[in-house]
Amino acid sequence: MTNPGDVSPALAETLLRLSTELLDTFDSDKLLGRILTLLRYLVPYETAAIHLVDGERLITQAGVGAALPTVGQINYQRENDFIWQFVEREKGPYLSPDLHQEAWKPLAGFEYIRSFMAVPLVIQERVTGILTIDHSLPDQFDADQVQVVTLFAHQVSTTLVKARLFESERQQRQFAESQLAFSYRLMHTNTSDEAISALLDTLLETLPLDAGSVTLLMPESAHRGYIAAAYGYTDPEEAHHKPVDMRQFELLVELVDKREPIYLADTRNQNRWQPGLLPDIQEVRTVLLVPLRADAQSEIIGYVTLKSYRPDAFPKTAQDNVALLCNQTASALHTLRLLEETRRRLDEVSVLTEMSAHLNRSEELSDTLRFILDRVIAVIRRGEDMDELRGAIILRMPGNDTLHLAAGHNLSASEIDAFNSRPYTVHEGTFARSIGKGEWVEIVQPPLVAATIAEQFASTTPRQLLDIPLRVGSQTIGIISVDHVVRDPTTRQLLSAMADLAGSVIQKTQALAHSRERAVELMETYERMQVLDQQRDEFIQNITHDLKAPLTFIRGYAELMAEGAMGEINPEQAEALEVIQERTDAVNQLISEILTIKNVEAHPLQEVPTDLNEIAASVARNARMAARLAGLEIEVVSTQRRVRVQGDGARMEQVFENLLSNAIKYSRNGGKITISVGEQANLAQVSIADEGIGIPPQEIESIWSRYYRGANLDAKGSGLGLANVRRIIEAHGGRIWVRSSERGTTFTFELPLYRDND
């Protein structure tokens, strides 16, 4: 070792001062730069660098001047570097007054160097690094400078050891603090995802890792899992929930079998290392695999993969720290899984109970389909930002193989119409699998998805496609289709149960809708019969009126003649007049009996508190099928929660049905019918407006007459409907009127409001 007494007093004093200052530096991040700064007090240089040994490489860790851009970028191999071999062999400095006179040459780009000095950093006879100094002029470093730099290098070596020890202690202290924070965070996690996220965040804080992931095993398989969290890959989002078959990787099979951590200090020396399915940004040199298990006797529930682009990046203390964190996480995951399983069961029961309760109340197929699709979308979106998620319910038409898009989410009317106007069949594309065979269809590659459904939805390019069959027994009646593939097994299980429930409810609702169509037909037949009955009643009323008046005159004159008021009569004439009176009385009696029968058949009003809102909604619901067939839309608008009158509900329903039926008959295809219910000056007011052909002004007053038919109307009917409507409204103490133009007709009637005591 060089003796400090061999250098000049001035240099020795400077060296002593610098060594003292160096010993006071504890921050390893700043130490290397500080060394090069202090070095200027000992020797003038243009470029200086510190290169530290890392396995078989010498890596530039700090630089000044032209060496600064090379920090972390240039490394030297032991077997190829002349300077490294020299100082390692000689354990002393290398000095060249002029490199232009040497056989050894510097790297390309540094040909300007003339004076060059390389001093080893030695600890216990082992070279741990090299300090290099150079200048563009020759003969810039003398013997005294070489000696003092060598002494300084010895002090630097000692300081670096001290700094590394201090850094190790600081890292352990930092790890202890991180572990405490991690334990606290773990105690307050509510889901497995939160626990895994806490683990990965803590590993990133305490380790120099470049990439990593946490993989959880499937409960039903000891060799299959999915990536629950990832960091440092080219596409971490694509890695999330990616399936992993551990039997394809030798190291993972070994990990499961031995249940102990596996550490590869340098993958270049390991034939067992196989890169996974996820691409790394750079070549992986260090790999650490740590199982997730609560203790040595517990089963593995997953594992952690940590990677570094440097060899031997994770020392033994770091490996032990990772194992400790993994054990804590595994214990927390075991508890959370039990909790999540309980939550999942409760969630499934809650969702299915809600669906069942709502669907059992729903009678309209469109409402049923919309509710089902909304609930499926809500389950898929739960906890994720997917406002643009699109979905549809596609049903197989009864009796054939054509398909009908019956409900959509984030689909435009033109897209729905385009699908239904084609139409598609169960034998085309993915429908052959999803509907034809009742299989789940899952496509995650965007180009394949676009090619699969481009014709159905030409204006969009979904990234993914998921078709869930709607099964009833062995039959598939349709699918729920969304543009997002669900990977979470818990959510998939819930969606499957929802689809099974939805299938049976849809089939029931379809049957109910068919029954209601038949009911509408029967109601129309009934109404026609009512018209005939009314015509009969009107005929009876008219004929009895026409008969009773002349009979009164006949009997009156017969009485006068019998009394002799018109002259004397003989016995034969008196007998004839008596017969006339008797027969007249018999005809009157017959008329009275007929009127009695008519009055018995004509039921009196059954007046009770009746909500017009409920009648309007019920009649609109019953008429929607007929309106749909006519290309019309029905809307019910009410300004009050309840609008009640004292009336006969059946008769009031007849009023709504007659007016709504006329609106449907005389509306143009594609129009809208609006039923408005409200209150106006202590009166209930109802309007039924259409966008139909209108009523000519000269016929407005005639429409209320019995048997009247407008000249410009070609719809079939008896002409009694509006007459009956007017009679019922007036029987309830109300009034009715009409406004009409070429843009449509509005019938409005008013009735006294019913006011109770509440």
pLDDT for position 756: 75
688 has pLDDT over 90: yes
pLDDT for position 236: 65
630 has pLDDT over 50: yes
140 has pLDDT over 50: yes
Q: What is the mean pLDDT of residues 706-725?
A: 58
pLDDT band at 465 (very low <50, low <70, confident <90, very high): confident
pLDDT for position 717: 46
Cβ 494 vs Cβ 379: under 8 Å: yes
As a whole number of angstroms, the distance between CA 633 and CA 688 comes to 13
Q: What is the pTM of this model?
A: 0.39
pLDDT band at 11 (very low <50, low <70, confident <90, very high): low
Structure tokens at 254: 């070994």
Domain ranges for the chain: 4-170, 189-340, 362-602, 608-752
Structure tokens at 601: 């058949």
Which range has the worst mean pLDDT, 28-32, 484-488, 594-598, 708-712? 594-598
Which range has the worst mean pLDDT, 31-45, 208-222, 223-237, 704-718? 704-718
Among 644, 659, 657, CA closest to 732? 644
Amino acid identity of 248?
Answer: Q
Among 484, 474, 472, 510, CA closest to 376? 484
pLDDT for position 497: 84
Judging by beta carbons within 10 Å of its beta carbon (0-12, 13-18, 19+), is residue 386 exposed, middle or buried?
Answer: middle
The sign of the dihedral angle between the CA atoms of 585, 588, 594, 599 is negative
Q: Which residue has the tokens 């549809």?
A: 392
- Give the helix/strand (H/E) hosting 218: none
Amino acid identity of 457?
Answer: F
Looking at per-residue pLDDT, the higher value among 562 and 432 belongs to: 432
Across the strands, what pairs with 404? Answer: 395
Quick: pLDDT tens for 78-104.
Answer: 778 888 889 888 888 999 999 988 888
621 has pLDDT over 60: yes
14 has pLDDT over 80: no
Q: What is the mean pLDDT of residues 379-404?
A: 82
Highest mean pLDDT among 43-52, 417-426, 704-713: 43-52
Q: Considering the chain, what percentage of its residues have pLDDT values greater than 90?
A: 15
Across the strands, what pairs with 527? Answer: none
Q: Which residue has the tokens 């002409």?
A: 719
Across the strands, what pairs with 741? Answer: 744
CATH number of the domain located at residue range(s) 189-340 in this protein: 3.30.450.40
Cβ 644 vs Cβ 754: under 8 Å: yes
Quick: pLDDT tens for 337-386.
Answer: 777 776 667 776 777 777 777 767 766 778 888 888 888 888 888 756 77
HSE, side-chain direction, 13 A CA sphere, residue 749? 22
5 has pLDDT over 70: no
Judging by beta carbons within 10 Å of its beta carbon (0-12, 13-18, 19+), is residue 638 exposed, middle or buried?
Answer: middle
pLDDT band at 602 (very low <50, low <70, confident <90, very high): low
The CATH number fitting domain 608-752, selected from 3.30.70.120, 3.30.565.10, 3.40.30.10, 3.30.1360.70: 3.30.565.10
Q: What is the mean pLDDT of residues 678-690?
A: 91
Looking at per-residue pLDDT, the higher value among 519 and 667 belongs to: 667
Looking at per-residue pLDDT, the higher value among 10 and 568 belongs to: 568
458 has pLDDT over 60: no
Architecture of 362-602 per CATH?
2-Layer Sandwich (3.30)
As a whole number of angstroms, the distance between CA 632 and CA 624 comes to 8
As a whole number of angstroms, the distance between CA 460 and CA 344 comes to 34
Q: How many angstroms separate the Cα of 755 from the Cα of each of 65, 609, 610, 649?
A: 97, 9, 11, 17
Backbone torsions φ then ψ of 160, nearest 5 degrees:
-65, -40
Highest mean pLDDT among 156-160, 306-310, 719-723: 306-310
Q: What is the mean pLDDT of residues 501-514?
A: 77
Chain CA centroid to CA 164, Å: 51
As a whole number of angstroms, the distance between CA 128 and CA 87 comes to 11
Q: What is the mean pLDDT of residues 245-266?
A: 87
Q: Considering the chain, what percentage of its residues have pLDDT values greater than 70?
A: 84
Which range has the worst mean pLDDT, 189-198, 530-539, 573-582, 618-627? 530-539
Quick: pLDDT tens for 466-498.
Answer: 899 998 888 888 999 988 888 777 788 888 888
Cβ 242 vs Cβ 227: under 8 Å: yes
The CATH number fitting domain 4-170, selected from 3.30.450.40, 3.30.930.10, 3.90.650.10, 3.40.50.150: 3.30.450.40
282 has pLDDT over 90: no
As a whole number of angstroms, the distance between CA 488 and CA 212 comes to 21
pLDDT for position 728: 84
Cβ 421 vs Cβ 400: under 8 Å: no
CB count in 10 Å sphere of residue 535: 15
Q: Which residue has the tokens 């969304």?
A: 482
The sign of the dihedral angle between the CA atoms of 21, 22, 26, 30 is positive
As a whole number of angstroms, the distance between CA 218 and CA 215 comes to 10
As a whole number of angstroms, the distance between CA 284 and CA 264 comes to 10
**Does this chain's domain 189-340 share its CATH topology with 608-752?**
no
Mean pLDDT of the chain: 81
pLDDT band at 599 (very low <50, low <70, confident <90, very high): very low
As a whole number of angstroms, the distance between CA 748 and CA 735 comes to 9
pLDDT for position 528: 82
